[in-house]
């Protein structure tokens, strides 16, 4: 693992020597070819999952391709990609993914299984510090800078991580032995990432998808705002008072049999309408 780091940080990243002769795609492919294999093995030590390690590295390089002008001018492009790969690998959101809830088959060697199990029991910050210092081979200030911690804090994490590993695997109490076993454990797993063109194409598609999503979301907000302004009232409309029962109204009369006087009056009216005096009509002159 450490042998692949040196070309990744120096020989593969000689943008000062070949930046004027390489296209952005060629420079990206060169960085990917030198750094991706080592990064997949390193992220495997962080996560203990082969598929997640591959996804984290590919996602980191997709982000690097999206921000390639920034990454190409960075003092350490390999460190930029490594930092993003570690962040993607240690993201807590992976716990919500159903495919990552079930455990993967462990390594066949019992010693490798024990070491990987101890690494996964460490807190993420301790695990990352241990892999960077004893696995990758960075010095303490570089490890502190990459983990966004002070040098004393990084040294404290490294001390506690080494103590935890030594307590479970006593033969790894020597830092040199731990460094050698980390490299052997990472090398035993045959991990591969996708090719550089595939990673670049997936990154461009992902970037295009999120761009279109952002545009659609913005258009939806503008449309909803315009509809609200169109349909909203322009003056104050007092609310309608709730209905209240009106008291003091007599109940409607109930129809029943007519009295003697009402019957006589009805008979008189009926006879007068048929046999009464002639109506007064104007006479022509």
Q: What is the CATH number of the domain that holds 183?
A: 1.10.10.10
The burial of 73, by beta-carbon neighbours within 10 Å (0-12 exposed, 13-18 middle, 19 or more buried), is given as exposed
Give pTM, 2 decimals.
0.65
Percent of the chain with pLDDT over 70: 86
* Boundary-marking domain end, from 188, 203, 237: 188
Q: Are residues 117 and 195 in the same domain?
A: no
Q: Are residues 61 and 136 in the same domain?
A: no
CA distance 161 to 271: 120
CA distance 14 to 7: 10
Q: Is residue 42 part of a domain?
A: yes
Tell me the average pLDDT across 55-65.
91
| Cβ atoms within 10 Å of 50's Cβ, excluding its own | 17
pLDDT tens by residue, 218-262: 999 999 999 888 888 888 888 888 888 888 877 777 777 888 888
Do 6 and 18 meet the contact criterion of CB atoms below 8 Å apart?
Answer: no
Do 26 and 165 meet the contact criterion of CB atoms below 8 Å apart?
Answer: no
4 lies in which domain range?
Answer: 1-100+190-215
- Any residues with CB less than 8 A from the CB of 64 and at least 6 apart, and which? 28, 31, 71, 77, 80, 81, 84
Q: Are residues 194 and 178 in the same domain?
A: no
């Amino acid at each position: 693992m450490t042998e692949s780091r040196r070309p990744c940080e120096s020989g593969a990243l000689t943008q000062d020597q070949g930046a004027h002769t390489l296209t952005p795609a060629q420079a990206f492919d060169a960085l990917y070819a030198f750094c991706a294999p080592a990064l997949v093995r390193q992220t495997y030590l962080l996560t203990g999952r082969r598929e997640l390690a591959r996804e984290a590295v590919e996602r980191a390089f997709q982000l690097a391709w999206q921000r390639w002008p920034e990454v190409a001018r960075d003092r350490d492009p390999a460190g930029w990609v490594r930092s993003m790969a570690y962040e993607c690998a240690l993201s807590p959101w992976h716990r919500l993914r159903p495919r990552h809830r079930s455990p993967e088959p462990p390594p066949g060697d019992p010693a490798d299984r024990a070491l990987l199990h101890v690494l996964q029991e460490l807190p993420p910050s301790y695990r990352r510090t241990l892999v960077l210092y004893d696995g990758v081979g960075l010095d303490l200030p570089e490890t502190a800078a990459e983990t966004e911690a002070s040098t004393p804090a990084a040294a404290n994490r490294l001390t506690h991580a080494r103590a935890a590993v030594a307590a479970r695997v006593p033969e790894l109490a020597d830092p040199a032995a731990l460094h050698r076993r980390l490299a052997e454990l990472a090398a035993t797993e045959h991990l591969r990432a996708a090719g550089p063109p595939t990673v670049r194409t997936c990154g461009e598609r992902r970037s295009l998808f999120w761009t279109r999503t952002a545009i659609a979301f913005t258009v939806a907000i503008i449309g909803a705002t315009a509809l609200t302004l169109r349909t909203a009232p322009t003056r104050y409309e007092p609310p309608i008072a709730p209905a209240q029962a009106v008291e003091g109204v007599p109940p409607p009369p109930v129809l029943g049999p007519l009295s003697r006087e009402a019957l006589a009056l009805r008979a008189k009216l009926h006879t007068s309408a048929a046999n009464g005096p002639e109506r007064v009509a104007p006479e022509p002159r």
